[in-house]
Structure formats: C-alpha cells, structure tokens
Amino acid sequence: MDRSGSSDFGGTAATTGRSNPAPWSNDKESPNNEDDSNEDDGDHATPAKVTDPLAPKLANNERILVVSVTERTRETWGQKAEFLLAVIGFAVDLGNVWRFPYICYQNGGGAFLVPYCLFLIFGGLPLFYMELALGQFHRCGCLSIWKRICPALKGVGYAICLIDIYMGMYYNTIIGWAVYYLFASFTSKLPWTSCDNPWNTENCMQVTSENFTEFATSPAKEFFERRVLESYKGNGLEFMGPVKPTLALCVFGVFVLVYFSLWKGVRSAGKVVWVTALAPYVVLIILLVRGVSLPGAYEGIMYYLTPEWHKLKNSKVWIDAASQIFFSLGPGFGTLLALSSYNKFNNNCYRDALITSSINCLTSFLAGFVIFSVLGYMAFVQKTSIDKVGLEGPGLVFIVYPEAIATMSGSVFWSIIFFLMLITLGLDSTFGGLEAMITALCDEYPRVIGRRRELFVLLLLAFIFLCALPTMTYGGVVLVNFLNVYGPGLAILFVVFVEAAGVFWFYGVDRFSSDVEQMLGSKPGLFWRICWTYISPVFLLTIFIFSIMGYKEMLGEEYYYPDWSYKVGWAVTCSSVLCIPLYIVYKFCFASKGGCRQRLQESFQAEESCGSVVPGQQGTSV
C-alpha cells in the first residue's frame, strides 16, 4: 500500500475474496444503488461496523466483524447524456477543425481514411474503452487508481497531472485568441477586411487584388500577427516582451468561465456541457450549408476527398494517421478515467466507447467539408490553387477562415458564430483536462483537498493562469507552439504506453476482463483482449519512437528556436516522464518493507485490501 499520502479509502480489519471483486453481478441490484443524481454528495460517513455475511463463521457461530470507513459519498452524473456530452466535448476539440482536414488532404485525401480507420479500430478505440472501464469500475482518478492496479506506477498519475498543467498553460491562451476575435467581430465592419488600420504595413494587400503576390500580406494575417498577438514587438523565445493587457484580459475571462463550470464538480460541469458540447455542431452545420453554397466549394471538397492511393506506400501517412487518432480521442490525459468514475457501476461503458469515439471521428470528417468548401471558395476568389491557400493549425482558423468570412455577405454574423464555435470547442477540452487533475487530487487527498473543492479549484486555476502569463506576451505565440510539442506532445505518448503496460501486463488482461464482466455481465471478446495485450502497446510505442525522431518537424518552420530552447524543451518533457521511474524507486526503497522479493511484490501487485468500489461511494467495499 502506498503510505505516502493517499488517505481517501478506509482500511479494513478483515477482508474476504480476491482483489478487486465487485460484491454484485450485473443483473443484481447494488446494496447502495442510487439514482443518477445523489441527494447529497457532500455528506461524510462515520466509521461503520459491518458483519460480513461471506466471512467464515467462528466457533460460537458468529462471523468476523469487518470495520469499514467510507469517506464521502461520490456524486454521479445528473443524466447519462451529461456524461456522453462531456466525453464528446473533451474528444472533439480544436484539432478536429484545424488539424484533421489538413492532415487528410496532405496524406492522400480519401485514401488517408484507410489507415485512419484501421488505427481507430485496433489502436485508439481499445485504449479509449480501457480508460472508460477502468474509471467506472474503480471510481477514482488517475492517482488513487494505481494502488488497485500496480502501486509502483502511481507516478503515471503524477505525470498526467503535470502534463495537464502544461496544457492549461497554452491551450487556454489559444481560446483567449478566439475570445479576442469574438469581441472584435461586434462591429459594423470586420477589422481584418481592409488595409486602412493603424497596425497595417505597406505590404498589406487585399487577397482579391490581382496584384497580390507571395510578398504581400493579407489584412487577416496582419490583424492576427500585428493586432491580436503584436508578435513584431517581441523576438520569439529570446525576447518575449511584456504581457499584452488586452490578451491577458481575454484569457482571464476564459479562466473565470472554466472556474464556474468546474467548481461544483460534475453537477456544474454537467449543466454547462449541454451548451458547450452541442453548440459547435449547430454552428458546424450552419457553416457547412453556407460553405457548400459558395463558388469553388465543389472543387475544394473534391480536393479534400479525392484518394491518392499511391501515398499509402509512404510510412509518414501511417504515422500521421496513428498520431491523429491518438491525440483526437485523447486517452492518457486522465480525463476519461475521471469522467467515467462518476458513472453508475453497471453503466454500459462499452457502448459509450463506441458511440463517443465514432462521433468524434465523424466530427473530424464533417469539419473537413466545412473547411475545404471555404478553401475552395478562397482559391476561386484568389484565382489560385487550393494548396496555396490552406494552412495547418492556428493559421487556418485565425487567418484563412476569417479571411474568407470577410469576403462573404453578412460577414459579421458568420464571424461571431465561427469564433463562438472555437471557444466552445476549446472550453470543453480544457474542462476535461483540468477535471482529470482535480478529480485525481481530490480522490487522493480527500481530507485536505476533497472537502474544499471550490477553494482548491480556485487556487489551481490561479496558479495555472500565472504560469500561463508568458504565453500572453508579444512573443507568446512561439511559446504556445513550444509547449504544445514539449509539454504533452511527446511525454503523453510514453505515459500512456506505461499506463497500458501496467493495466494489461501487470494487472492482467484476464483480471481486467473479469472487472468488465462484473459491470456489464459479459467479458470483452477475443478481439479486445488481443488488442490490449499486443496491438495497443505496439501502437503507442511506434508513435512515440517516430515522434521523437521527428520532434523538430513537429515544431514547424514558422518560428525560430535557438539551440538552448531544445534543451529546455527536453527538460520540460522529462519533468513529467521522470515522475514514473522516480516513484518506482520511492515505492521500492522507501514505501515498502521486507526483502527484495517482498518489496517487489508489494510494489507491483495490486493491494489485496483494495476491494471494488461500491456504486455511489468513494471508498472500498469488503
């Protein structure tokens, strides 16, 4: 047992059965079965003496007395739909809009869907299903769960928390850019429609001009670089300059929205996701209808879909497909564990995994139509080819798409709903990442943090906001890209590989399958067990190796990075990765007793006293 700080689960005087048994099958009512909405998630139970009917009888025909301490009742989702919307909202993020369409057409158009779907089925979906099942069965976050699986790998949970902090430092800043654009759109004329503004240079030229050359810059590009970011006042990482007040105010507004969405747990978040998860689909459909009606839209969509089968011979296409499906579904960030831990014990997590992962991938595909119909329109307007119009990443949604919107009738309306969509897409994802860390720490330290969730969330967000201030400087855009690569980009691949190895190789696929059977009434099929044992770990290791080999390519060529920055970047990556071996050493050397063999057993075997979690409770059942 990890004696270093976890105090959320009460000890027992005597236990029976194997490790992690659920005391009821799928077709029986739980002894503590509750409705979807608990009466009071803040009540604390006192130690209770329970006579275990399964315990062996003593000589006087009495049974062993089991003393169980249950900390606090665990809240559940108010409705099943809230959980599904939260998972969909986390998985469907800005990358679905600005990365997938570009990756798709760059790697063979329709042909790219072949490796994409294969990696979804054999790599991404099994990991997605695994995390939903783990969280639902054990009903705790990414820290406490490891004493039930492999205590020595608890460092995986700390690594995930650190990665989530890095993500919060830059991802909320990107949402802040969208907030800036949203407020700038409330005007009679969009500020990036002309070159007559104080921030414009002599090179500024309308994209519809016949004299537009590769040396000219569009009003939209100058608005983003010289008005929103003002990056010309800084010099990348070498001189980032002071914080830009207006941008910092926008990002601060994002943090305020995040706080009031998360401060009460899933009860508050469950209400917010009805708006933040559904609104992007309404806007996507509206933009799709508008996009396909534009001249040149058909050519753009054909450019997006036309298969180039010969590109499948290139290994880069397959690596890009594997990376895209992994980062799109988002296993390993602790979010799926956290969100599913608030489900009822016998919820059908298998069906949820199929539904939410399918919706995520279909959304990416739909976003491609929205983006390429407009790219086709821009190529038509500029009288050029589509490959000279398109950009990947932030440039696509903050330069190219606003540029296209500016040429449409009713441009103010289209701009407002487009940036509202980006904001809601970003908020859902940041909700998920932060909730993973909040749930993990509240579960691990219930007496210190769990009882003061509102204050803890406030302090955590204040800390992340202060850490994020450098991304709001004039050179902050370079730091945003830097953190995107070295924060979660490389480290999360290794962390998830270790997580999968801990579950499938130490805890065991058979044991995990038995846990699923106790929840759903049947074991996962042979396909899932093969994927979990062999295919998924290889899938993760392959992406990790190729990502390390191409890390400079991940940084891109748009910004300059001094030589020292690569060392700092690897230090950032190692700061989370090293949590894993350091905790293994700590667990073996300082938190275990006995000889070498006993220490190994205590470190790498799930604790026999951990029992499965009673639905509706945060403690263990005996």
Domain map (residue ranges) of the chain: 80-604
DSSP 533-581: IIIHHHHHHHHHHHHHHTHHHHH-SSS---HHHHHHHHHHHHHHHTHHH
pLDDT digits (tens, 9 = 90+) for 8-47: 333 333 333 333 444 333 333 333 333 433 333 333 333 3
pLDDT digits (tens, 9 = 90+) for 310-342: 999 888 889 889 989 999 999 989 999 999 999
381 assigned ligand-binding residue: no
Which tokens go with 455?
């204050």
Are 256 and 270 in contact, with CB atoms under 8 Å apart? no
Are 28 and 522 in contact, with CB atoms under 8 Å apart? no
425 assigned ligand-binding residue: yes
CA angle centred on 478, ends 477 and 479, rounded to 5°? 90
- pLDDT given for residue 443 in this prediction: 93
92 assigned ligand-binding residue: yes
Residue 383: its H or E element: none
Residue 252 burial (CB count, 10 A): 16
48 assigned ligand-binding residue: no
Are 218 and 207 in contact, with CB atoms under 8 Å apart? yes
- pLDDT given for residue 128 in this prediction: 96
Q: Residue 204: beta bridge partners? A: 217
- pLDDT given for residue 218 in this prediction: 87
Alpha helix (H) residue ranges in 330-475: 335-340, 349-382, 394-395, 401-406, 411-444, 453-468
Which tokens go with 191?
């500020």
- pLDDT given for residue 56 in this prediction: 45
- pLDDT given for residue 285 in this prediction: 95
CA distance 597 to 604: 11
487 assigned ligand-binding residue: no
42 assigned ligand-binding residue: no
Reported pTM? 0.84
3-state class of 72 per DSSP?
strand
Residue type, 112: F
6 assigned ligand-binding residue: no
96 assigned ligand-binding residue: yes
89 assigned ligand-binding residue: yes
CATH number of 80-604: 1.20.1740
Are 518 and 138 in contact, with CB atoms under 8 Å apart? no
Which residues of the chain are modeled with pLDDT < 70?
A: 1-72, 208-214, 390-392, 554, 557, 608-622
- Give Cα separations from 62 to 15, 57, 59, 69 (angstroms): 16, 5, 7, 22
**Nearest Cα to Cα of residue 377 among 403, 356, 354, 358:** 403
